[in-house]
Amino acid sequence: MSYNIPKTQIAAVVTSSDAPIEIRADHPVKAQVDLAPGECLVKLVSTGVCHTDLHARNNDWPIPAKTPLVGGHEGVGHIVAIGDNTPDSPVKIGDRVGIKWLAYSCLDCEQCRNGLEQNCPKAKLSGFNVDGTFAQYAVSYVHHVTPIPDSLESNAAASILCAGLTVYRALKYSDAKIGNWVALPGAGGGLGHLAIQYATAMGLRVLAIDTGAEKKKLCTELGAEKWIDFKETKDIVKAVQEACDGLGPHCAIVTAASGSGYSQAVDYLRSGGTLMAVGLPGDAKLEASIFFTVFKSITIKGSYVGNRQDAIEALEIAARGQAKVHYELQALSDLKGVYEAMEEGKVAGRIVLDMSK
């Protein structure tokens, strides 16, 4: 199988955090002969839009994104070329694969050997320090692209590659057991609505925390047993504890990109509970009572995306119909408006870009 690969493509390019996004029709495509060993070229079908993409676009994290930058890290497409001298490739030309936030890790360091590939010192990050998926073609790596199950439609698979993977791993390593309560601040958002589904698939009881009638409807339809609107609740800590047997949840997966969700979680968790820190506010501090963290035997864990095995598991659960992305399909040219809606907190579920438009 061979593909006719063009020399240029349409891509959304960030030249600086102060400049508007440029939709360019003449962005270069890397030719097969220029691919390094281990690299592959993927023709994209669709790509999700993640809050992390907005951080990269605004360059408001403590670590800087490269510029110029093609953002995006939830891409699904077909491999159209593989670099020469690539031995033992687990994928081949024509395969449908996903491109994740973690584009590359060395696989040989201590972190990689321990399953923390995402913390590899040599990690390359799609749409952050290497170009990502807001383009018709993207360069990735044969040992890190993820095969997409045949039964999972491409648009539905896109956001599993980051949003689904991230919350799945956080739940997987939270030590929560069947029948335990899990609190999900930001439950109606892109990560949160998937966390509800993965949690219920694991036999957990979900308390959704967010605001607005649309998000309440989404959360309850997806399986949340209890709902709290943080804008209508005077005492969040008391309300959360009362909703979970009067003792508080066993676990909190905090996906909200604000500091308040973290400090509240330590207060409302029951004794022995676990706070999984997932959302990435750029400059907020984790402030919690040391006394009550110790007195209540609270565990705090940082959970950062996931490794290759986590991604395969998250996709397999979605392919079985147990986690479904609720998304709105838009075009790459709509990206500026998508970012504006995200900043205003108006996106329920996920936005996926159809790269054929």
| pLDDT tens figures, 124-164 | 999 999 999 999 999 999 999 999 999 999 999 999 999 99
Q: What is the mean pLDDT of residues 3-8?
A: 94
Domains of the chain: 8-162+306-354 (3.90.180.10), 164-302 (3.40.50.720)
* Full-model pTM: 0.93
Q: What is the mean pLDDT of residues 170-181?
A: 97
Per-residue model confidence as pLDDT tens digits over 154-173? 999 999 999 999 999 999 99
CA distances from 141 to 130, 165, 348 (A): 12, 18, 32
pLDDT of amino acid 261:
79
284 pLDDT band (50/70/90 cuts)?
Answer: confident
102 pLDDT band (50/70/90 cuts)?
Answer: very high
Amino acid type, 81: A
- Asked whether the beta carbons of 171 and 106 are under 8 A apart, the reply is no
- Asked whether the beta carbons of 185 and 254 are under 8 A apart, the reply is yes
List beta partners, residue 97: 77, 147
Per-residue model confidence as pLDDT tens digits over 46-99? 999 998 999 999 998 899 999 999 999 999 999 999 999 999 999 999 999 999
